Amino acid sequence: MSTLPPDCITVPVETGTQRYDILIGSGLFDAPAAWDGLPRAARALIVSNATVAPLYAARLQQALAGRYAAVSLLALPDGEQHKDWATLNLIFDQLLAEGADRQTVLFALGGGVVGDMTGFAAACYMRGVPFVQVPTTLLAQVDSSVGGKTAINHPAGKNMIGAFYQPQRVVCDLDTLRTLPPRELSAGLAEVIKYGPIADMDFLGWIESNLQALLAREPTALAHAVQRSCEIKAWVVGQDERESGLRAILNFGHTFGHAIEAGLGYGDWLHGEAVGCGMVMAADLSARLGLVTEAFSARLQRLIARAGLPVRGPDLGSDRYLELMRVDKKAQGGEIRFVLIDGPGRAVLRAVPDATVRQVLAAHAGPGR
């Protein structure tokens, strides 16, 4: 029986209805054990995009060739602006053209957009086929590939159409981060930073001390960042798979961030950039409500800026921000609910008066970036 590389880290995810592993390490594409034990089928489809496919699709096809009689590839257009019905239909078109059945396995090779759309397609095709996440960006490895959230965007709101559908496995080959553009690396660091204020202040301190190593892509630092992020997310998902309560804390910064993405038109700011700026706003909101000190809010803003992320939002106008945030999935009855820091290392979901939100927007949104 083949074995995983000695430096491979395994993080289990247990939801109560399903168990699967997150594999984290270098050289996993070429490690046969990374692909052992997956569902058997006659056919597999790799869904990637026009940027990632030329880099890694052939290696993944080679790794899977002895396990499936046919391994085909679909390269979607790249970018958040293509996370829509038209692009999703390309996956269904390919599956139907190839005569894919209920045993066909989908492999999502790429970042968060590819993972979200492939997972959603897997949830829908013939009412559910298995899929595997093979994330190639830092953001996808530490966040979007884990936990079974799948979706596409709507012009009125981000990720508004989707399903909870867990993968069979998540394979994080850290070697793929070598080809990640610097802007994408910074975007991924936003989701790494997020885990500190909401769950683990020791981890936040570690990020502050090791940020330069992360920006320099030092393998040991990246491995620890991905591992600890996945451990925290796996724990949260295990407690609340369908975001009925606790899991909402993972959306720290996302209410403001999703409004930025939707307000500008998807693809102008990267998701992680919008989340980073959104965390600045959410931390300030927490401070204005007396949940954390202004010093803590300033500390988080400094770290986000050091990571190369924007700390000032676009000038959409406070009315437009509020309009967009009212269609956030955490909103209830038209009332916006924010993930706030309820003391360092703890998060809470709370409704906030519009007047206080407007104060935050006046301080952190407008000309400049």
Mean pLDDT of 268-290: 97
Among candidate residues 83, 169, 233, 337, the one labeled active-site is 233
218: annotated active-site residue: no
Sign (positive or negative) of CA dihedral 136, 138, 142, 146? negative
Rounded to 5°, the CA angle 13-19-24 comes to: 45
258: annotated active-site residue: yes
Average pLDDT value over all residues in the chain: 95
Among candidate residues 243, 261, 273, 329, the one labeled active-site is 243
Among candidate residues 251, 288, 329, 337, the one labeled active-site is 251
Using CA atoms, how far residue 70 sits from 6, 61, 98, 105, in Å, is 30, 9, 10, 11
Q: What is the pLDDT of residues 58-93, one digit of tens each?
A: 999 999 998 999 999 999 999 999 999 999 999 999
pLDDT of residue 332: 82
127: annotated active-site residue: yes
Q: What is the pLDDT of residues 43-67, one digit of tens each?
A: 999 999 999 999 999 999 999 998 9
pTM recorded for the entire structure: 0.95
User: How far is residue 318's CA from residue 320's CA, in Å, rounded to a whole number?
Assistant: 5
- What distance, in Å, lies between the first and last C-alpha atoms of the chain? 53
271: annotated active-site residue: yes
Q: What is the pLDDT of residues 163-181, one digit of tens each?
A: 999 999 999 999 999 999 9
4 pLDDT exceeds 70?
yes
Q: Are 224 and 231 in contact (CB under 8 A)?
A: no
Q: What is the pLDDT of residues 224-254, one digit of tens each?
A: 999 999 999 999 999 888 887 888 999 999 9
Among candidate residues 254, 288, 329, 337, the one labeled active-site is 254
Q: Are 157 and 137 in contact (CB under 8 A)?
A: no
Q: Are 222 and 214 in contact (CB under 8 A)?
A: yes
What percent of the chain stands above pLDDT 90? 90
243: annotated active-site residue: yes
191: annotated active-site residue: yes
pLDDT of residue 316: 96
Burial class of residue 294, CB neighbours in 10 A (0-12, 13-18, 19+): exposed
323: annotated active-site residue: no
